[in-house]
């Protein structure tokens, strides 16, 4: 396509050469972490299904968390958030799937506190609040204490790929696959590893976008700075995805940094802190994108990039609003380049922008089939056949140019299909 206002005004951003993706990495790849999953029987129709997960660090770790902003939040969210406020330390976590322990009142809080205590006893933790507790599944159902206790007896912690895979499987609900990623980089000349495992397929929307994500690292990181880095990474990953526009009651992202890599503690004065931040952000984006690819009933993975915005916040608002629009999502399912829905979503986003030079392009810059449908607020003629070919692909990329600044942001979503309605109308997770 010819050079026009639809072309990007920046060069692609590449990650630091110090950061290496670990193809076969898993939640136990960082030093000192072990995990397992067991079948506790929370799903009577699938008694063999792994539904109880435990993660453990051989050393108490500095920890940080970001939680759902849904006011109707689950009991384990309240308990784990309160635990982090005590010392910003964790050594283990216990997660059950199938029963969310949300909307369960005082009894739900009591069970969450009991889960901390029973995990403390099993793993001989120094304090009950060194245990994070999570639940995911059907709202309004209390986890069965007898099943948790029996399931814990089956847990055999290990640091190998098999044990890590069992952990990742045990946290799933309507997911069709596990979601993991890992990276390695050098800090102070020492190898540092970050790894993560997530679950999520439906009830996914910013703030956060039901999802859980657990991140481990053997880096030594100052606790307050760890919280700052996690919040920033969540904002550029899990808070920029949307499956269906619903923010869950249980959303949680936790990171444990046990310091066993032996590096000097990372803070803002450390020369390598930006590399660590970038690795964490890349890891979170990998997990967030995996959630979108596994969206309930989804047939398309959609990336929306907004460029030349006044601020990153404005760009993010525009991108998020587009991928969250049900009108846009259904058009993508129908493979219809109804670009008016994109422009409408940008205008409704709440971003402090002008749309006087709004440009919309379907397809990446280096794609010979890429077409510009709106050029500085002027409609462009295009081949409907080419547009249909682009939209028939399993991955769709849309670039929005605001021509108002130097900031940019990406958001990720999926189409809204008939299968999404069937999944959520006829069965519980």
On whether residue 13 sits in a domain, the answer given is: no
Instruction: Give the H or E element holding residue 372.
Output: strand 371-375
In this predicted model, what pLDDT tens digit does every residue of 326-372 receive, in sequence order?
999 999 999 999 999 999 999 999 999 999 999 999 999 999 999 99
106 is in an annotated binding site: no
Report, as an integer, the average pLDDT of 184-200: 96
Lowest mean pLDDT among 25-34, 52-61, 103-112: 103-112
210 catalytic residue (yes or no): yes
For residue 54, give the CATH number of its domain. Answer: 3.60.70.12
DSSP annotation of 349? S
pTM: 0.89
Taking alpha carbons only, the member of 317, 344, 219 closest to residue 270 is: 219
Q: Number of structural domains, the chain?
A: 2
Q: Which residue in the list 68, 80, 193, 210 is annotated as catalytic? A: 210
Is 296 a known ligand-binding residue? yes
Q: At 343, which CATH number?
A: 3.10.20.340
176 and 222 belong to one structural domain: yes
Asked if residue 15 is part of any domain, the answer here is no
Query: Annotation-wise, does 70 bind a ligand?
Result: no
Strand pairing partners for 281? none
Q: What is the pLDDT of residue 17?
A: 78
State mean pLDDT over 414-420: 84
Q: Bridge partners of 65?
A: 254
Residues 274 and 385 in one domain: no
- Over range 193-213, report the average pLDDT: 74
| pLDDT given at position 64 | 97
pLDDT of residue 406: 96
Residue 33 has pLDDT above 50, yes or no: yes
Residues 264 and 325 in one domain: no
Across the chain, mean pLDDT equals: 90
Query: What is the pLDDT at residue 6?
Result: 40
* pLDDT tops 60 at residue 206: no
Could you give the CA distance from residue 103 to residue 402 in angstroms, rounded to a whole number? 43
- Ligand-binding annotation for 173, yes or no, is yes
Please give the residue range of the domain that contains residue 341. 301-426
Judge whether 11 lies within some domain. Answer: no
Q: Are residues 275 and 205 in the same domain?
A: yes
Percent of the chain with pLDDT over 70: 91
pLDDT band at 245 (very low <50, low <70, confident <90, very high): low
How does pLDDT run across 250-301, given as a tens digit for each residue?
688 999 999 999 999 999 999 999 999 999 999 999 999 999 898 778 899 9
124 Cα distance to chain centroid: 31
Tell me which of 277, 293, 309 is where a domain ends: 293
Q: Is 424 annotated as a binding residue?
A: yes
148 lies in the same domain as 226? yes
Distance, CA of 353 to CA of 46 (rounded, Å)? 51
Same domain, yes or no: 181 and 329? no
* Model confidence pLDDT, tens digit, residues 390-404: 999 999 999 999 999
Question: Is residue 136 annotated as involved in ligand binding?
Answer: no
Residue 210 has pLDDT above 60, yes or no: no
Residue 45 lies in a domain: yes
């Amino acid at each position: 396509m010819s050079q026009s206002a639809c072309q990007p005004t920046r060069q692609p951003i590449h990650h630091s050469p110090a950061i290496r993706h670990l193809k076969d990495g898993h939640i136990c790849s960082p030093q000192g972490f072990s995990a397992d999953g067991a079948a506790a029987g929370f799903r009577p129709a699938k008694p063999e299904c792994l539904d109880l997960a435990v993660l453990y660090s051989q050393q108490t770790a500095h920890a940080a968390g970001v939680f759902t902003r849904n006011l109707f939040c689950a009991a384990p969210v309240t308990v784990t958030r309160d635990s982090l406020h005590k010392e910003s330390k964790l050594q283990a976590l216990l997660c059950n799937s199938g029963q969310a322990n949300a909307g369960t009142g005082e009894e739900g809080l009591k069970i969450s506190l009991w889960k901390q205590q029973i995990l403390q006893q099993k793993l001989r933790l120094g304090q009950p609040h060194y245990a994070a507790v999570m639940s995911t599944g059907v709202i309004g159902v209390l986890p069965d204490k007898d099943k948790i206790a029996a399931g814990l007896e089956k847990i055999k912690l290990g640091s190998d790929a098999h044990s890590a895979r069992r952990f990742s499987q045990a946290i799933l609900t309507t997911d069709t696959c596990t979601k993991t990623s890992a990276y390695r980089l050098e800090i102070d000349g020492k190898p540092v590893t970050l790894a993560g495992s997530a679950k999520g397929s439906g009830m996914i929307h910013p703030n956060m976008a039901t999802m859980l994500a657990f991140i481990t690292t053997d880096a030594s990181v100052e606790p307050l700075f760890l919280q700052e880095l996690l919040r920033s990474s969540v904002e550029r990953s899990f808070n920029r995805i949307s499956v269906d526009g619903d923010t869950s009651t249980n959303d949680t992202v936790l990171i444990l940094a046990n310091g066993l890599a032996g590096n000097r503690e990372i803070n803002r004065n450390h020369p390598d802190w930006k590399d660590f931040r970038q690795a964490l952000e890349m890891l979170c984006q990998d997990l967030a994108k995996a959630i979108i690819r596994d969206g309930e009933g989804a047939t398309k993975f959609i990336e929306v990039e907004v460029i030349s915005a006044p601020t990153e916040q404005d760009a993010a608002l525009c991108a998020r609003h587009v991928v969250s629009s049900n009108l846009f999502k259904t058009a993508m399912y129908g493979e219809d380049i109804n670009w008016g829905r994109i422009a409408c979503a940008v205008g409704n986003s709440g971003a402090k922008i002008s749309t006087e030079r709004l440009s919309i392009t379907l397809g990446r810059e280096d794609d010979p089939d890429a077409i510009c449908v709106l050029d500085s607020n002027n409609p462009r003629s295009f081949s409907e056949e080419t547009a249909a070919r682009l939209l028939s692909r399993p991955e769709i990329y849309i670039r929005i140019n605001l021509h108002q600044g130097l900031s940019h942001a990406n958001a990720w979503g999926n189409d809204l299909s008939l299968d999404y309605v069937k999944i959520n109308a006829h069965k519980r997770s």
